[in-house]
Amino acid sequence: MKEMRSTLQEASEDIFFGQEVIIWARWFVIAAASLVLLWTSTSIAEMTKAIIMLLPLIIINFYVHGRYLMEKPVNQALLIGLSVVDIVTVSLIILLWQADNGFASPYFIFYYPLILAFAFVLPPRISVVFTVLTLAAYVGVCLLDDSSFLYSSLEIERLIIRLITLASVGGLGMFYWRIQRQRRREALGGQGTSPPAG
């Protein structure tokens, strides 16, 4: 029973203390995307479109950050759901922003901090699913916009490299999560020194 309680405590501590990582990663994406999207806007209509695309991220982060500061953090299920909204928002930016859409869009880089922060906070079994879904979302957005890049071996190679680096970032975050879990267990007296399977 004590081991079960310890595992549950570890999971809730990961969520409580790890939320700050996701919050600041989201603020980073909001700031960087705001700067880039507003900088590249050529009309009031484009500026409005940029703000509307970023609005979900801003609202989500104000809510989550406010709850965190009140020491009432969101639960794991809501954290996962909000992270999915982050990925959907970045995917829409890649799909809809200006002439360089889909595969030609440089805004896929906004996936990196979101994947890394998620992998730092949540167990690897959940992070793997999130990373794979993010990769699928990116491929889907690229295909939805224009699938003609599939006829070029150079473009396919570039897509594969992007997918490998995105997956690697998720893998590194999961590896770090395991290291931190192991260190915490050793610091608490060595109880359950092997990392959990998930």
Q: Which residues contact 60 (CB under 8 A, 6 or more apart)?
A: 26, 82, 85, 86
End-to-end CA distance of the chain: 19
pLDDT in tens, the chain (198 residues): 455 556 777 777 778 888 889 999 999 999 999 998 888 888 888 888 888 888 989 999 999 999 999 988 888 999 999 999 999 999 999 998 876 788 889 999 999 999 999 999 999 999 999 999 999 999 999 999 888 888 889 999 999 999 999 999 999 999 998 888 888 778 777 554 455 555
Alpha carbon 98 to its chain centroid, in Å, reads 23
Element containing residue 19 per DSSP (H, E): helix 2-40
pTM for the whole structure: 0.84
For 1-39, letters b (16+ CB in 10 Å) and e give eeeeeeeeebbeebbeebbbbbbebbeebbeebeebbee
Cβ pair 183, 195 in contact under 8 A: no
The residue extents of the domains of the chain are 2-187
